Amino acid sequence: MHAQYHENAGLFRRAARLIAHPDETLDKLLVRVARRMLGSRRLQSSPVAWGESTALVGLQRLVLERFYDPSVGRPYGLRKKDKKALVEQFKANTVEIASGTSWLLHVALAQQILSSPTEAKGDVIECGCYKGSSTASLSLACKQAGRRLWVCDSFEGLPEDESTRVHDYPHLQVYGHYEKGMYAGRLEEVKGNVARFGDLSVCQFVPGFFSESLKSLTGPFVLAFLDVDLVSSMRDCIRHIWPLVADGGLVFTDDSLDMEVVRVWFDDNWWRETLGERSPGYVGSGCGLPLAPDSSSLGYARKLARPQEYYQRVPWLRYPGSGGRVSQETNPVGTPSSQGP
């Protein structure tokens, strides 16, 4: 069993490394993957495994193509070779530093940071950094964008969780509990990792548990990344950070698969009592954004006062007072945009 696992894991790693050739056509890329993988008896006999492997390569290819789009990073003078160098460093960061997030997730976050208009005022904030793998990657993107990265963590691991709360992941069909002290990364350890693999000069560290430490923040923020695991911690982050997020800003979390945490984003009563507004919902609830064939841990909420001034119109909806219909030439939903995922 262990030998088969390592064999298949190696195949997927080799498939991922093929992404380092982004100028190849997708067909050629998949042929190369197929040739590498045909040596696996499991893949030969399992159409599902073969389908998942090709889907993984295709999704990685798509995410990278979006990141390499000339519009991403253009306001900051980044060229394709600069973004390729960032991707290679993101990959290294998830290998050299213990990480709970994938390099592809780092790419997705970097795309948003580098797509923020230069005139947009605000920094980037991360809550829950573990050993600093995502921190290192975010710091590199922030350096390119000329923004500060606020790194918030207890640096003592998770606080005490509600002892009876069960965290359920229905899409993965798993459940469990968290314990105090899990996912600890000491401050000096995190700083050392960022100094070695990222850019420490853009980082401002905010140690302490979120219920107290986040009170000192003043913002504004164009993007937040919350990897906090617990319902209580998510509520603390939203309570203190959401009011500081600029209009149009994004709040990503690494907890899209945990329905206990996701429910916070739909709890209208809590939002109205705490922040005086309706809950914004959460994109990626239960299964995450499409960064992997089965699921990913990344999802987001966007802060918008007036969506109708930000979003596009489409021909398959109606708009009172504007003649009813919209031209078929209007960009459809899903058209790549520098403004969001």
What is the DSSP track for 201-230?
GGEEEEES-HHHHGGG----EEEEEE---S
Q: Residue 278 class from Cβ within 10 Å (0-12 exposed, 13-18 middle, 19+ buried)?
A: exposed
Alpha carbon 248 to its chain's center: 17
Mean pLDDT of 107-127: 97
pLDDT for the residue 122: 97
Cα–Cα distance, 276 to 163 (Å, whole number): 29
Cα–Cα distance, 38 to 223 (Å, whole number): 42
Cα–Cα distance, 223 to 213 (Å, whole number): 19
**Confidence label for 46 from pLDDT (cuts 50, 70 and 90):** low
pLDDT for the residue 160: 79
| Domain assignments of the chain as residue spans, ordered by start | 1-68, 92-309, 315-341
Whether pLDDT at 332 is above 90: no
Cα–Cα distance, 73 to 118 (Å, whole number): 10
Give all strands of the β-sheet with 245-253 in edge-to-edge order. Answer: 203-207, 149-153, 123-127, 221-226, 245-253, 299-302
Cα–Cα distance, 30 to 299 (Å, whole number): 28
pLDDT for the residue 162: 67
CATH class held by domain 92-309: alpha beta
- Identify residue 222 by its one-letter amino acid code: V
pLDDT for the residue 177: 83
Cβ-proximal residues to 32 (8 Å cutoff; 6+ apart), any chain: 18, 24
More confident residue, 269 or 17: 269
Length of the chain equals: 341
**Which range is most confident: 19-28, 74-83, 293-302, 321-330?**
74-83
Mean pLDDT of 49-57: 67
pLDDT for the residue 102: 94
Cα–Cα distance, 254 to 235 (Å, whole number): 14
Cβ-proximal residues to 186 (8 Å cutoff; 6+ apart), any chain: 155
HSE-up of 172 (CA within 13 Å, CB side)?
A: 18
Whether pLDDT at 23 is above 90: no
What is the DSSP track for 143-200?
HHHT--EEEEE-SS---PPPTTPPEEETTTTEEE---TTTT---HHHHHHHHHHHS-G
Residues 247-265 have pLDDT tens digits of 999 999 999 999 999 999 9
Mean pLDDT of 219-237: 96
Mean pLDDT of 110-115: 98
Whether pLDDT at 273 is above 90: yes
Whether pLDDT at 163 is above 90: no
Contact 102, 159 (CB under 8 A): no
More confident residue, 45 or 239: 239
pLDDT for the residue 40: 46
Cα dihedral angle (31, 37, 39, 44), rounded to 10 degrees? -90
Cα–Cα distance, 55 to 32 (Å, whole number): 14
State the Cα angle at 83 between 77 and 84, rounded to 5°: 145
Mean pLDDT of 12-20: 47
Mean pLDDT of 195-202: 98
Cβ-proximal residues to 105 (8 Å cutoff; 6+ apart), any chain: 134, 254, 291, 296, 297, 298
